[in-house]
Amino acid sequence: MKALAARRHHRMAPVVLLLLALLTTGGIYAALAPSTAKAETVSTADIETGKKLFQANCATCHGPNAEGTDGVPSLVGVGAASVDFQVSTGRMPMQTNGPQALAKPPQFNEEQTAALAGYVASLGAGPAIPTDEQVDASLGDPSNGMALFRTNCAMCHNAVGAGGALSEGKFAPALWETSERNIYQAMQTGPQSMPVFNDANITPDEKRDIVSFLVEQREGSAGGNALGALGPVSEGLWAFVIGLGLLIGAAVWIGAKSS
């Protein structure tokens, strides 16, 4: 201690202290900050490719450095998950202006999407793309997923994820075709009208339970054709079209039989 105490007035001491402080802060940050899992694996070259793709396809609206323009959100800090969700479902680049961006066949392949995600993730930390294990439906508990889904999601997406209407032409899409990874990312990032369900709100395990519940719904209904799982309106419609249609047809046939 004596040696240390003797040198504390050394002229290099402030520099050493500053370095130590920076190292500690950086270390704590690295340990605690949301991990950008995929971003780490993306090389600088990929980020460069991503930047070029971004400037060619996205910068018109989001600005040359993704800082956003009037009415268009900044992408700094949205994370790789958000980019992967928007681009792999074809919502971005947006086809037309409308109540909301519609899903369409994706414009970029997987590599390009990863490069774009890497570039945007490099602009600021945000939610990372979930790992395959995080979205593996077979590891989730569909019963808990059901309870969470109907408390948090069903008021817009329908009880089994068949979709529903929102105000002014917006809608919560049906989730039959949505990939497990995209469902998870949507909860993480809250695209468009959807709220963000962060990991404190719904934990990663609970998100996987929800994915598991939704995947289970795709197996169909125990009672036969699910009729779109839209509830009593579609049931009533089919009662008239098929049921009453057949019965009135039969009545006409019986009535025509004798006279």
Partner 1 sequence: MSTATPDTKREAPATPTTTVGKAADYLDQRTSIGLAVKEFARKVFPDHWSFMLGEIALFSFVVLIASGFFLTMFFEPSMALETYEGEHPANMHGQLMSVAFASTLDMSFEVRGGLLMRQIHHWSALIFMASIVVHMMRVFFTGAFRKPREINWIVGLILMILGLAAGFTGYSLPDDVLSGNGLRITDGVVKSIPVVGSFMSYMIFGGEFPGHHIVPRLFTLHIFVIPGILLALIALHLFLMVLQKHTQYPGGGRTDKNVVGYPAMPVYVAKMTGNFFIVAGVLALMGATMSINNVWNYGPYDPSPVTAGAQPDWYMLFLEGSLRLMPGPGWEWVIGGFTLSMNVLIPAVVVPGILFTFLFVYPFLEARVTKDDEEHHVLDRPRNKPVRTGLGVAFLTAFIILALAGSNDLIATHFALSINGITWVFRVLIFVGPVFAYYITKRICLGLQRKDRELVLHGHESGRIVRFANGEYIEVHTPLDEQERWLRVNYEAPAPLEIAPKTDARGVKRKGYASDKRWQGLSRFFYEDRVAPVSPAEVEAAHSHGEHDQLNGSERQAVEAGAGTTSREH
Binding site for partner 1 (CB under 8 A): 99, 142-143, 145-147, 150-151, 154-160, 162-169, 171-172, 213, 216-217, 221-227, 229-240, 242-244, 246-248, 250-259
CA angle 82, 47, 190 (to 5 degrees): 5
Of residues 35 and 151, the one with the C-beta less far from partner 1: 151
Of residues 33 and 256, the one with the C-beta less far from partner 1: 256
Plot region of 44 (φ>0 → left; ψ -120 to 50 → alpha; else → beta): alpha
In the complex, the smallest distance separating the C-beta of residue 217 from partner 1, rounded to whole angstroms, is 8
Distances (CA, A) of 231 to 51, 63, 164, 188, 227: 46, 44, 12, 29, 8
Single-letter residue type at 170 = K
Of residues 9 and 257, the one with the C-beta less far from partner 1: 257
- Residue 84: both structure tokens together: 């992967």
Of residues 62 and 207, the one with the C-beta less far from partner 1: 207
Structural contact between residues 140 and 233, judged by C-beta atoms closer than 8 angstroms: no
In the complex, the smallest distance separating the C-beta of residue 104 from partner 1, rounded to whole angstroms, is 14
Single-letter residue type at 6 = A
In the complex, the smallest distance separating the C-beta of residue 184 from partner 1, rounded to whole angstroms, is 18
Of residues 15 and 248, the one with the C-beta less far from partner 1: 248
In the complex, the smallest distance separating the C-beta of residue 73 from partner 1, rounded to whole angstroms, is 23
In the complex, the smallest distance separating the C-beta of residue 177 from partner 1, rounded to whole angstroms, is 15
User: Per-residue b/e over 38-71, b at no fewer than 16 CB within 10 Å?
Assistant: bbeebeeebbebbbebbbebbeebbbeebeeeee
